[in-house]
Amino acid sequence: MARILVIEDVPSVMFSLRMVLEGQGHKVATAGDGAEGLDRLRRDAFDVVVTDIWMPGKDGATVIREGRAAAPGTRFLAITGGSPNSANGASPGASPGAGIESLRQEDFGADRILFKPFERQELIGAIDALTAGS
Amino acid sequence: MRTDPDAVEAALDSARLAVFRHEPDWSGGPGGIAGDLEWIGCRYGVDGIDGQGLAALLDAVTDSDRDSLLGLFALAGGAVRGGEFRLKGAGRDIHLSCDALVESGATGRPLRITGTIQDISERRRFEETLNDTLRAKQTLLAIIDACPVSISVADARQPDVPLVYVNRRFQSLTGYEPAETLGRNCRFLQGPGTDPETAAAIRRAVAGGERIDTRILNYRKDGTPFVNELLLAPIRDGDGAVTAYIGFQSDVTEEARREEAERQRQRMEVMGRMMGGVAHEINNLLQPITLLTQELSDRHPDDADAPYLDMVLDCARKARRIIGDLLAFSRPGTHMAEPVTAGALVAATLPLVCKAVGPGVVVNERTDDAGSALVLRADRTAFAQVLLNLAGNAAAAMGGTGAIAVTLGLEPADGAAPRRARITVADTGCGMEPAVLERAFEPFFTTKPVGQGTGLGLSVAYGLVKEMGGDIALSSTPGAGTVATLLLPEFEPPATA
Ligand SMILES: Cc1cc2nc3c(=O)[nH]c(=O)nc-3n(C[C@H](O)[C@H](O)[C@H](O)COP(=O)(O)O)c2cc1C
Ligand SMILES: Nc1ncnc2c1ncn2[C@@H]1O[C@H](COP(=O)(O)OP(=O)(O)OP(=O)(O)O)[C@@H](O)[C@H]1O
Ligand SMILES: [Mg+2]
């Protein structure tokens, strides 16, 4: 059982993530945007943060950077479906012209990354890998 | 009839004409210069030497012209002699013209020489200024003729404004000799692809005496088209009436081709951005569909309705693949060549090609491993443009139904040529007659009806392939089909020290 914080702005995506993770017996907390997520992270301890990358307000890459400073022991799983206003899906701060190739290479500072829409087993496997040995 | 000597003298004076008689004295030597020169009459009009003898005249002549004067009095020579010489003047030279009649004696030597000397300084000066003017005008004409800009002039006062002057660059640009162009209206450069609207705009400008700067499709004498950047400006007389038009032509075909490539690229970029936005939305919809369906399947493994959930999942996965394909090709940013395997390049482009050719055309792909693994240096968008243009032509040649075969293979190194990826796009369409094949890459060459093709597709493809350091060629059999072949060189990373 792991303590997991999910930061995601689309409610239906959030709901489905929680269903799967709670189904695996994890304890899940949620936040609807980056600022709220960082707040939660500073107050409570989490084993894993699952964060969307493109969100209005604070983007996922920033959440991961600031989150690591606030919670050094926490592992980060980035999930992304591309950006709504560019074809490359890179984070808002990424250099313009970064291609899909560099998207595949870019990790947004996360320990792991999953590309939406990923499958249930990929999610479960990623969480297992991040919590293994802890 | 009697002649009044005073009247003659007055006439001679105003004509600045002197009359002389000379009887050479040969005893002094063969020069015959001795002897007296006698002026006939009292006023001679030849300034400075009135009333003086031959010696004085000889002294007064400029050194360089002295021989010319001596020739008149020489031992040998014809009976009628003439010459010009100048007198040393304080300011300007005095230019004299002399005509002499020589009477020879029994010995054959000149006995008496009678002649006129006329001051022609004014006439000479006038002729010189005239020459200077002419020379200046000719120099100007030569400069205009040699200008590296095509220049043409038409007479606005003649009906239909015919050309009256074209320079050499106009000839080399259009292929027409001046004789073929002068006297004709310049519209003979226009042809089937010329936009009538543009010609009409020029007509209105010329009729209104206005200046116009425009681009118009023209044809050389040999039929090759070029984009003509035409500037027409009226020339007015002192009263402001338009008397002529001057026209400057320049060939901007290459520029037009580059602009078209840039337009295509921008269109694709906008499309790419749009698809990025759509993909983001759809991915966020597919995520809960996928996860919740799988979670339900997992929670109810033995449910009789489980196959329905599998169908939902299957659809979600298909949708994901389509979105992934769309995203793979599109990429923002300007032309950025980057190392990429030929296989990845083709794979990223094919889904887009499939969508572009329409539902009636299937695209069959055959790639071999050696070709796929070759690393090229290419811009993804540019490559997509090339393949789209080739596939578009293939689809059109088959009337929108049929199969296009796309292959990717390895072209081994050959002498100085590096290893290259060989990419072919083959159709089973109408093919091309040799005359069409020969001109297919020409900008604006199209066999499609007006409005259906710009004729720039292959031209743009050619430019982009060259930019990648590659080659493009077409082979075709009329009635059987066409194969377009791209050869793109392997990327050799710069050696690191
Ligand atoms: C000096 C001069 C140069 C011209 N040069 C060109 C030219 O290079 N190419 C062209 O298509 N038209 C050129 N034109 C325009 C045509 O001669 C003509 O004015 C135009 O086609 C519009 O008239 P139209 O509709 O009666 O043909 C030129 C006109 C003038 C007066
Ligand atoms: N695969 C092909 N089969 C038969 N004819 C072809 C093929 N590809 C090109 N052509 C001929 O070459 C001409 C020029 O092709 P190009 O792609 O440059 O322009 P286009 O297709 O006519 O116009 P656009 O590409 O702007 O729609 C075509 O009009 C056609 O006659
Ligand atoms: Mg075409």
- Considering CB atoms only, which of A16, A96, A118 is closest to B292? A16
Contact between residue B71 and residue B98 where contact means Cβ atoms under 8 Å apart: no
Q: How many angstroms does the Cα of residue B455 sit away from the middle of ligand 2?
A: 6
User: For residues B363 and B442, which has the higher predicted lDDT (pLDDT)?
Assistant: B363
Q: What are phi and psi of B99, to 5 degrees?
A: -120, 135
Are residues B276 and A82, on separate chains, in Cβ contact within 8 Å? yes
| pLDDT score for B78 | 80
Confidence band (pLDDT; 50, 70, 90) for B41? low
Are residues B331 and A100, on separate chains, in Cβ contact within 8 Å? yes
| pLDDT score for A87 | 42
B224 Cβ closer than 6 Å to some ligand 2 atom: no
Atom of ligand 1 nearest to the CA of B161: 31
pLDDT above 70 (res B476): yes
The lowest-confidence range among B26-35, B114-123, B307-316, B356-365 is B26-35
| pLDDT score for B396 | 95
B44 Cβ closer than 6 Å to some ligand 1 atom: no
Decide the pairing of beta strands B375-378 and B338-341.
Answer: antiparallel
pLDDT above 50 (res B426): yes
Q: How many angstroms does the Cα of residue B1 sit away from the middle of ligand 1?
A: 69
pLDDT per position as a tens digit, B51-60: 677 777 788 8
Burial class (CB in 10 A: 0-12, 13-18, 19+), A111: middle
Query: For residues B107-129, b (16+ Cβ closer than 10 Å) or e, as one string?
Result: eeebeebbbbbbbbbeebeeeee
Contact between residue B432 and residue B477 where contact means Cβ atoms under 8 Å apart: no
Mutation choice for A interface testing from B291, B295, B345, B383 by most A CBs within 10 A: B291
B199 vs B206: CA distance, rounded Å? 11
pLDDT above 60 (res A101): no
ipTM: 0.87
B120 vs B117: CA distance, rounded Å? 9
Q: Is the preceding peptide bond at B162 cis, omega within 30 degrees of 0? A: no
Are residues A89 and B334, on separate chains, in Cβ contact within 8 Å? no
pLDDT above 90 (res A83): no
| pLDDT score for B496 | 61
Atom of ligand 1 nearest to the CA of B150: 8
pLDDT per position as a tens digit, B221-257: 998 889 999 999 999 999 999 999 999 999 998 888 8
Residue B186 DSSP code: G
Percent above pLDDT 70 for chain B = 91
| pLDDT score for A85 | 54
Q: What are phi and psi of B10, to 5 degrees?
A: -65, -40
What are the chain A neighbours of B345 within 8 Å (beta carbons)? Answer: none
| pLDDT score for B272 | 67
Residues with CB under 5 A from ligand 3 (ion): B 393, 457
Q: What are phi and psi of A85, to 5 degrees?
A: -125, 25
pLDDT above 90 (res B401): yes
Are residues B283 and A82, on separate chains, in Cβ contact within 8 Å? yes
How many Å separate Cα B348 from the centre of its chain?
40
For chain B, which residues lie within 8 Å of any Cβ of chain A, measuring from their own Cβ?
Answer: 272-273, 275-277, 279-281, 283-292, 294-295, 298-299, 316, 320, 327-328, 330-334, 336, 338, 340, 348, 380
Please indicate, yes or no, whether the overall pTM of this predicted structure exceeds 0.80.
Answer: no
- Considering CB atoms only, which of A12, A82, A96 is closest to B288? A12
**What count of other Cβ atoms lies within 10 Å of the Cβ of residue A104?**
11
Ligand 2 binding pocket mutation candidate from B406, B430, B446, B474 (most atoms within 8 A of CB): B446
Q: What are phi and psi of B158, to 5 degrees?
A: -90, 150
pLDDT above 50 (res B333): no
- Average pLDDT of chain B is 86
| pLDDT score for A134 | 59
Percent above pLDDT 70 for chain A = 81
- Considering CB atoms only, which of B272, B283, B287 is closest to A16? B287
pLDDT per position as a tens digit, B296-325: 999 998 999 999 999 999 999 988 877 766
Mutation choice for A interface testing from B265, B266, B267, B280 by most A CBs within 10 A: B280
A104-108, B8-12, B206-210 — which one is most confidently predicted on average? B206-210
Find, among A78, A76, A73, the residue nearest to A90 by Cα: A78
Tokens matching residue B388? 């789209």
Contact between residue B243 and residue B235 where contact means Cβ atoms under 8 Å apart: yes
| pLDDT score for A105 | 47
Q: How many angstroms does the Cα of residue B162 sit away from the middle of ligand 1?
A: 9
B407 Cβ closer than 6 Å to some ligand 1 atom: no
Contact between residue B126 and residue B114 where contact means Cβ atoms under 8 Å apart: no
User: For residues B272 and B493, which has the higher predicted lDDT (pLDDT)?
Assistant: B493
pLDDT above 90 (res B160): yes
pLDDT above 60 (res B258): yes
Confidence band (pLDDT; 50, 70, 90) for A91? very low
pLDDT above 80 (res B50): no
| pLDDT score for A84 | 60
Residue A119 DSSP code: P
pLDDT above 60 (res B195): yes
Number of A–B residue contacts, CB under 8 Å: 108
- Following DSSP, what letter does each residue of B20-74 receive, concatenated? EEEEE-GGG-TT---EEEEEESS----TT-TT--HHHHHHHB-GGGHHHHHHHH-
Find, among B457, B473, B484, the residue nearest to B389 by Cα: B457
pLDDT above 90 (res A120): yes
Q: How many angstroms does the Cα of residue B173 sit away from the middle of ligand 2?
A: 26
Contact between residue B486 and residue B423 where contact means Cβ atoms under 8 Å apart: yes
Confidence band (pLDDT; 50, 70, 90) for B336? low
Smallest-distance ligand from the CA of B242:
1
pLDDT above 80 (res B28): no
pLDDT per position as a tens digit, A48-67: 999 999 888 899 999 999 99
Strands laid side by side in the B402-411 sheet: B361-367, B402-411, B420-427, B481-489, B471-477
CATH homologous superfamily, domain A3-131 = Response regulator (3.40.50.2300)
- Following DSSP, what letter does each residue of B404-469 receive, concatenated? EEEEEEEE--BTTB--EEEEEEEE-S----HHHHHHTTSTT---SPTTT--S-HHHHHHHHHHHTT
For residue A63, give how far its alpha carbon lies from the nearest alpha carbon of chain B (Å).
20
Q: How many angstroms does the Cα of residue B186 sit away from the middle of ligand 1?
A: 5
B187 vs B236: CA distance, rounded Å? 22
Mutation choice for A interface testing from B287, B290, B310, B330 by most A CBs within 10 A: B287
pLDDT per position as a tens digit, A30-51: 999 999 999 999 999 999 999 9
Contacts within 8 Å (CB) and 24+ apart, B366-369: B366/B405, B366/B406, B366/B407, B366/B408, B367/B343, B367/B407, B367/B408, B367/B409, B368/B408, B368/B409, B368/B410
Q: Which amino acid is at B172?
A: S
User: For residues B424 and B322, which has the higher predicted lDDT (pLDDT)?
Assistant: B424
